[in-house]
Structure 1
Amino acid sequence: MSQLTPEQEIELKTIFDDFDEDNSGTLKVEELRKAAQYFGLNPSEAEVDEKLSEHDINKDGALDFEELKALIADMYKDPEQICTEMREAWKTVLQDVELEDGEKLTKDQLYNILKDRGDDPLTMEDVNDIFADLDRDGDTETITTEELNALFSS
C-alpha cells in the first residue's frame, strides 16, 4: 500500500479525533464500532474486537492513530479510496436532506436517516455523540452546512 498523502492523513486524523469520545488519544471497541456505523459499515462487536486485536500492537485494548492507520492500510489498497469512501458515505447518508447554504441539520433529521440502517442502527444517543464530535460552533443541537462541508474537503 502506498503512503497516505499529508492531506489524507490530516483528514483521517480529524475523523479519528471526532470518534475519540473520551479524548484518550485512542479508539476503543465502542468508538470503533460507532465510527464504522457512521460510515455505513455495520460490524458486529466481535468483528470490531477481531480487528482491534489484530492491530492493537501495544495490547492496550484500543487503537491509537498509528494503529488505526495500519488497520486502514490492511482494509484499503489505495489511500485515496479511504477519504473518498468516507466522503461518499456521508453524502449518501445526507442525500435525503437538502440543505441550502446557512441551513442546519438537526439531530432528529440525522436520526431519522440513520435509525433503520444496518443490522445495528445508530441510536439517538449515538446521534448526540456524532453531533458533539462534529460541532465546531458550540451549538451541539445542529450541524451547519459549513461543518458538513469541512468533511467533504480534501
Structure 2
Amino acid sequence: MPPKSSKLTNHQMKELRDAFDLFDRDHSGSISSTELKQLLLALNFKPSESLLRKVMKEMDTDGNGTIEFSEFAKAMSSVYSRALTDEEMHRAFRCFDKDDSGFITRDELRDVLKQLNHNISERRITEVMKAVDENGDGKISFDEFVIMLKET
C-alpha cells in the first residue's frame, strides 16, 4: 500500500466512522459476519458463505470474529488511494436506483439507508439528499452521484 493511502484526512476518517456506524447496526463497536451479510444483501449482493468467510478473514486481522473500526479503516483506506471505474460507479448507482429510472429518489435513498441501519433518522436522510442533490430537483442523477463519489 502506498504511504499516502495510510494517511487519511480527518474528513476521510469521519466518513469511514459514519460508514462503520451505519454498518454496525447493533452499536456494539464492531461489525459481525451477520451485519456484513446484511450490508451486502442491502446492496443487492448475494454473498455465499465462503465469500463471507473470506471477506471476514481478510478484514478481521486480529482473528476475533468481528471487524473493529481500526480494521475497517485499514481495509477501506485503499479506497481513497484509487479511482473508481465507470463500471463500479454504475454498479453502485444501480444499488440505489431500484426502479432503473436513472435517478435515485428520496424513497430509494431511504430504503437502502434503512436496510443498512434501521435507526437512521429522517433528518440524516434529508442531510444526505440535500448534500448530493446539487440542482435541488428532489432526486439524485448519476452525474450528481459521481460528483459525490469523487469528492469523498
Same fold (TM over 0.5): yes
Unaligned runs of 5+ in 1: 112-126
Count of paired positions: 127
Unaligned runs of 5+ in 2: 133-147
Q: Which has the higher helix share?
A: 2
Residue correspondence of structure 1 range 59-138 to structure 2 within 5 A: 59-73=63-77, 76=78, 78-79=80-81, 81=83, 90-95=92-97, 96=100, 98=103, 104-105=106-107, 110=111, 128-130=114-116, 132-137=118-123
Which of 20, 24, 36 aligns to 1:20? It is: 24
- Output the aligned Cα RMSD: 3.8
Q: CA deviation at 1:133?
A: 4.3
Q: 2: distance between equivalents of 1:57 and 1:42?
A: 24
Which of 1, 24, 36 aligns to 1:32? It is: 36
Identity %: 24
Q: 2: distance between equivalents of 1:66 and 1:81?
A: 23
- Whichever residue aligns with residue 49 of structure 1, its letter is R
Q: TM-score, normalised by structure 2?
A: 0.58
Change (3 A) 1:12 1:27: same
Q: 2: distance between equivalents of 1:68 and 1:147?
A: 22
Decide which moves more: 11-20 or 63-72.
63-72
